[in-house]
């Protein structure tokens, strides 16, 4: 008989993870799932077959880890038009039942057939499944039937439900899988009409919208909830409305996840289910929400903007970054009381230069995010599996909490309006005023852009969305000079906090490394980009040179006023326009190996980031770096 299921390890609905989601051996996967906090697992048969552990040993290990085995899967191509093939399939199923009894799980997943022997006859499929369910029931076991999106004949959940209903056996129910249903464009609303007691299992996966063979899409591009484009909260809402009471289980086939650190991927996976419960709760009636027992997370407080951006600098990059900030109109207004950290300010833009971070070159080390309730922001981060980072704090210094983003960037929660009572009180004023010369006019941080390691792009997007309560704002792909670059921006509703993420779609692993490794930049807002560029250039800012060809093409494409075009050409200002407004921006050269600064002007309702100009910027940075390497220019 099945083992008693472990008590729930996480708040809210029980959670489970298919072992196929993770890298490593079955032993590695079980340890990672348990450490992350999953309540149970689906054992993927190839993982078990490759394991040296017997079924009894796997059962004992899961029990020791406090996890149940909720499903054994998959059992493929059961129904058959040939009696001999059907007999062989029944024999194969009996062997799986033996394994299940030893594993201590009572549920087997049966996929719709893709075999040449598959039946296109629902009544005969139902009859065969009824007979198999009878054999399973004799041993205290159950079957759940799933329509594969690429099934030869049965490939929709509506048809699989018709078959299960016709079979009419208490040991036979339905498995609904979000990928198989949503990838085909099926309407999941009908799930709400299926009796909850016949929904034996639920498998969840997100995915980007793609136009390709659905099998290849499924095998390589599934994602954890919140990382793709599917409306999983609506999907889950229909399942819970039907009365489903089983675990929320992830079944994600993804080439990146299956070669990543399993412990890290498992935490990312569980975070996705916690965030999904919150999103789903908002779409259910109070009664349905109470019946489902969804997790309640601390609500994300309203954000007020970027309190500061902290740059790590070393001896070789400090001078270049300081000169660039000064030329852009920043003043060094404070020195930290106990740490080698400078405060630079202009308008509501604040940059910290940290010479004690222990990093080579210059890079973004931390983001200070203004929040109306720093304590609530911290509690939310912890509830979403982001523990508070240990910090050394001097006497009478601000007690700020920080968590680590997937790329190692620290995210600090700063109370809006704390002023000198908050983190700024840790800095001794220098008395410095604005630099001499025409003002650049920077007002605030418009956005921060962070290139992600290839393996962590989707993880980072989920982190910022869930922990900070941000929402996807903008996505694009750019054919850059050295390969395709994928961009994704998340923002709060007011646009006060914008964080851009990017990744090179193909890894760079050869000696030919023409691009900037994991580039990062801070974009500052101003009311007049042309005037700002003129003032910055006059002050000696290391602004990036843009080729004339760009402006010739810009004139042909968008025809900006000739006088504006001439000024932009002179100053290296780039331009974009859409139906909502205009965007002017300019860049500095690379500072300290990977960092550069940007100044932007938004006109009207323009909400993008000028991605069409990115290849021009990348090529210009390449030329700058090549010149620097040959000794012609010092950056």
pTM, whole model, 2 decimals?
A: 0.90
Read off the pLDDT of residues 257-307 as tens digits, 9 standing for 90 and up: 888 899 999 999 999 999 999 999 988 888 888 888 888 889 999 999 999
pLDDT band at residue 3 under the 50/70/90 scheme? very low
**Comparing 24-28, 562-566, 621-625, which segment has the lowest mean pLDDT?**
621-625
CATH number of 303-629: 3.10.180.10
> SS3 letters for 517-580?
CCCEEEEEECCCHHHHHHHHHHCCCCECCCCHHHHHHHHHHHCCCHHHHHHHHHHCCEEEEECC
pLDDT at 515 over 60: no
Read off the pLDDT of residues 72-130 as tens digits, 9 standing for 90 and up: 999 999 999 999 999 999 999 999 999 999 999 999 999 999 999 999 999 999 999 99
CATH topology of domain 15-292: TIM Barrel (3.20.20)
Q: Which residues pair with 470 in a beta bridge?
A: none
Read off the pLDDT of residues 145-180 as tens digits, 9 standing for 90 and up: 999 999 999 999 999 999 999 999 999 999 999 999
Eight-class DSSP state of 236: H
| Range(s) of the chain covered by CATH 3.10.180.10 | 303-629
Read off the pLDDT of residues 38-54 as tens digits, 9 standing for 90 and up: 999 999 999 999 999 99
Q: What is the spatial distance between Cα 289 and Cα 44, in angstroms, rounded to a whole number? A: 31
pLDDT at position 161, please? 98
- Averaged pLDDT for residues 579-589: 97
| Range(s) of the chain covered by CATH 3.20.20.150 | 15-292
Q: Which residues pair with 248 in a beta bridge?
A: 15
Average pLDDT, the chain: 91
Q: Which residue's structure tokens are 């609506």?
A: 234
């Amino acid at each position: 008989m099945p083992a008693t299921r472990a008590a729930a390890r996480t708040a809210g609905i029980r959670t489970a993870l298919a072992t196929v989601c993770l890298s490593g051996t079955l032993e590695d996967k079980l340890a990672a799932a348990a450490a992350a906090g999953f309540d149970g697992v689906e054992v993927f048969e190839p993982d078990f077959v490759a394991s040296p552990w017997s079924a009894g040993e796997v059962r004992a290990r899961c029990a020791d880890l406090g996890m149940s085995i909720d499903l054994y899967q998959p059992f493929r191509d059961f129904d058959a038009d040939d009696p001999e093939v059907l007999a062989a399939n029944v024999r194969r199923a009996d062997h799986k039942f033996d394994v299940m009894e030893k594993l201590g799980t009572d549920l087997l997943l049966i996929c719709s057939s893709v075999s040449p022997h598959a039946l296109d006859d629902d009544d005969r499929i139902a009859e065969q499944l009824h007979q198999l369910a009878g054999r399973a029931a004799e041993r205290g076991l159950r079957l759940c039937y799933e329509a594969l999106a690429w099934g030869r004949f049965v490939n929709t959940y509506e048809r699989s439900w018709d078959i299960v209903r016709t079979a009419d056996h208490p040991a036979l129910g339905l498995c609904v899988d979000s990928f198989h249903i949503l990838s085909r464009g099926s309407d999941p609303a009908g799930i709400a009409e299926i009796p909850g007691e016949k929904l034996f299992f639920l498998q969840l996966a997100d995915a980007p919208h793609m136009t390709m063979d659905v099998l290849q899409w499924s095998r390589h591009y599934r994602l954890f909830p919140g990382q793709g484009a599917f409306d999983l909260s609506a999907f889950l809402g229909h399942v819970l409305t039907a009365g489903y009471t089983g675990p929320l289980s992830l079944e994600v086939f993804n080439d990146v996840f299956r070669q990543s650190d399993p412990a890290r991927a498992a935490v990312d996976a569980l975070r996705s289910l916690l965030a999904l419960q919150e999103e789903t709760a908002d779409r259910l009636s109070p009664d349905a929400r109470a019946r489902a027992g969804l997790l309640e997370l601390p609500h994300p407080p309203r954000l007020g903007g970027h309190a500061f951006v902290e740059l790590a600098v070393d001896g070789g990059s400090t001078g270049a970054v300081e000169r660039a900030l000064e030329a852009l109109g920043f003043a060094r207004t404070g020195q930290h009381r106990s740490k080698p950290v400078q405060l630079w300010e202009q308008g509501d833009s604040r940059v910290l230069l940290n010479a004690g971070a222990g990093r080579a070159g210059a890079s973004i080390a931390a983001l200070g995010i203004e929040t109306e309730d720093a304590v609530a922001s911290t509690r939310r981060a912890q509830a979403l599996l982001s523990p508070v980072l240990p910090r050394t704090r001097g006497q009478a210094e601000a007690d700020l909490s920080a968590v680590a983003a997937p790329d190692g960037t620290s995210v600090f929660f700063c109370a809006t309006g704390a002023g000198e009572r908050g983190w700024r009180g840790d800095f001794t004023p220098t008395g410095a005023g604005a630099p001499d010369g025409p003002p650049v006019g920077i007002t605030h941080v418009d956005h921060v852009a962070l290139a992600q390691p290839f393996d962590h792009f989707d993880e980072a997007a989920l982190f910022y969305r869930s922990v900070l309560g941000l929402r996807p704002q903008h996505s694009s792909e750019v054919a850059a000079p050295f390969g395709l670059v994928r961009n994704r921006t998340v923002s709060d509703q007011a646009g006060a906090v914008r964080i851009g993420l990017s990744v090179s779609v193909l890894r760079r692993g050869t000696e030919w490394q023409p691009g900037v490794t994991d580039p990062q930049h801070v974009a500052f807002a101003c009311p007049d980009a042309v005037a700002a560029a003129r003032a910055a250039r006059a002050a000696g800012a290391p602004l990036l040179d843009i080729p004339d060809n760009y402006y010739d093409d810009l004139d042909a494409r968008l025809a900006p006023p000739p006088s504006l075009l001439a000024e932009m050409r002179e100053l290296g200002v780039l331009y974009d326009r859409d139906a909502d407004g205009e965007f002017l921006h300019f860049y500095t050269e690379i500072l300290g190996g990977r960092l550069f600064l940007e100044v932007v002007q938004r006109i009207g309702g323009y909400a993008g980031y000028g991605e069409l100009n990115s290849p021009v910027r990348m090529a210009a940075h390449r030329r700058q770096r090549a010149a620097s390497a040959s000794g012609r220019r010092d950056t």
